[in-house]
């Protein structure tokens, strides 16, 4: 059985909940990623921030990314998957919630992320096409 741990990018870097969106944007640039997990002082996952969040929910509203905290972008409980979950569970959850990036948790700690690129490396063409079609439907 292929698990979430088998297909994830290990060691996801977090942005702290009290860090600014400017710091998040620079981290995304330096890491060449489009999203970052938001972690609290308790070292637990509090949300996800995307480059689109910074543009749409900060800059486009005339707010200063050097002043806005990452915690302001963490809305609701984040969706995540246990590292021992099989790939079918990962796909099902990502499709159900229409998300492109899934944090992977083990022993209550963030251990990695699964992105569309990770799925593309591990799924057959039909499953990947279904995933993309489901995620993009209605957007």
pLDDT digits (tens, 9 = 90+) for 78-110: 899 999 999 999 999 999 998 888 999 999 889
Res. 75: pLDDT tops 80: no
Structural domains present in the chain: 4-136 (3.10.580.10)
Mean pLDDT computed over 43-63: 92
Its pTM stands at 0.83
pLDDT of residue 119 exceeding 80, the answer is: yes
HEC string of the chain equals CCEHHHHCEECCCCEECCCEHHHHHHHHHHHCCCEEEEECCCCCEEEEEEHHHHHHHCHHHCCCCCCCEHHHHCCCCCCCEECCCEHHHHHHHHHHHCCCEEEEEECCEEEEEEEHHHHHHHCCHHHHHHHHHHHHCCC
Quick one: pLDDT at residue 138? Answer: 54
The mean predicted confidence, pLDDT, of the chain is 90
What is the structure's pLDDT at 15? 95
């Amino acid at each position: 059985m292929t698990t979430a741990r088998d297909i994830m990018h290990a060691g996801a870097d977090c942005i702290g909940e009290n860090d600014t969106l400017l710091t998040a944007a620079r981290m995304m640039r330096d890491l060449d990623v489009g999203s970052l997990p938001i972690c609290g002082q308790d070292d637990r996952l509090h949300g996800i921030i995307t480059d689109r969040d910074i543009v749409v929910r900060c800059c486009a509203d005339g707010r200063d990314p050097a002043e806005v905290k990452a915690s302001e972008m963490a809305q609701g409980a984040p969706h995540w998957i246990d590292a021992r979950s099989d790939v079918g569970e990962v796909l099902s959850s990502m499709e159900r919630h229409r998300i492109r990036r899934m944090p992977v948790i083990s022993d209550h700690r963030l251990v990695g992320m699964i992105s569309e690129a990770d799925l593309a490396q591990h799924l057959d063409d039909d499953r990947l096409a279904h995933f993309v079609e489901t995620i993009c439907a209605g957007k």
